[in-house]
Amino acid sequence: MASTEKYHKSIITLHWLIAIIVFILIALGLNMVDIERGTPERAFYYNLHKSFGLTLLLLMIARIFFRIKFKAPPLPSNVSLFQQTVARASHFILYLSLVLMPLSGLIASQFTKYGVHYFGLFKIPPLFSQNKFYYDLFQNLHKAFAIVIMIMVSVHILAAFKHIFFDKDDIFERINLFKGKNKK
């Protein structure tokens, strides 16, 4: 394979850091709901989930900033216009969901008595009084975006495998952490 131009190293680092956090959030989100209400264990896992969620939101803001600042490397000429369009659309949906999911969770937390205890370091107190209507509204949006993210991440991973194992092109090398030529 010829040397492929890669994304800027800040984008590559954020991509993989965000991926790890998304998998942690999915695991926490799917399992913490089964923990008995009112227990310290439930509070611990909910606060951990909220802390990783807020971290995800901040990292996504940074990622969008760097993505605007450092343009994507060009796609290989063998990538069809259809594939380019699908890739752009799926990335847009993924980015949008990765911002709106933690944002909706953060907003939902503002309508509870709990707020957010960020990794036990400090507390973001609720800005509003408890309101079940608004909590449920933003919590349902949070859940809907979580489902969209799980679908889009699955599609994203399947597309990566397609490029690695079937197309055998250099698309994956553009975001690979470990080898190839980086943009400075």
- Domain spans of the chain, in order of start: 5-183
User: Which residues make beta-bridge pairs with 8?
Assistant: 183
The pLDDT score that the predictor gives to residue 169 is 87
pLDDT-based confidence at residue 123 (cuts at 50, 70, 90): very high
> Is the per-residue pLDDT at 177 higher than 80?
yes
- pTM of the entire predicted model: 0.92
In degrees and rounded to multiples of 5, residue 123 shows phi and psi of -115, 135
% the chain with pLDDT above 90: 87
Residues 6+ apart with CB under 8 A from 51: 116, 117, 118, 119
Query: How far apart are the C-alpha atoms of 175 and 65, rounded to whole Å?
Result: 17
pLDDT of amino acid 183: 52
* CATH class for the domain made up of 5-183: mainly alpha
Q: What's residue 28's pLDDT?
A: 97
Return the H-helix or E-strand segment holding 117: strand 116-118
User: What's the rounded Cα separation, in Å, for the pair 36 and 14?
Assistant: 34
What is the band of 78 on the pLDDT scale with cuts at 50, 70, 90?
Answer: confident
Neighbouring residues of 49: CB distance < 8 A, sequence distance ≥ 6: 25, 28, 29, 32
The arithmetic mean of pLDDT across residues 49-69, rounded, is 97
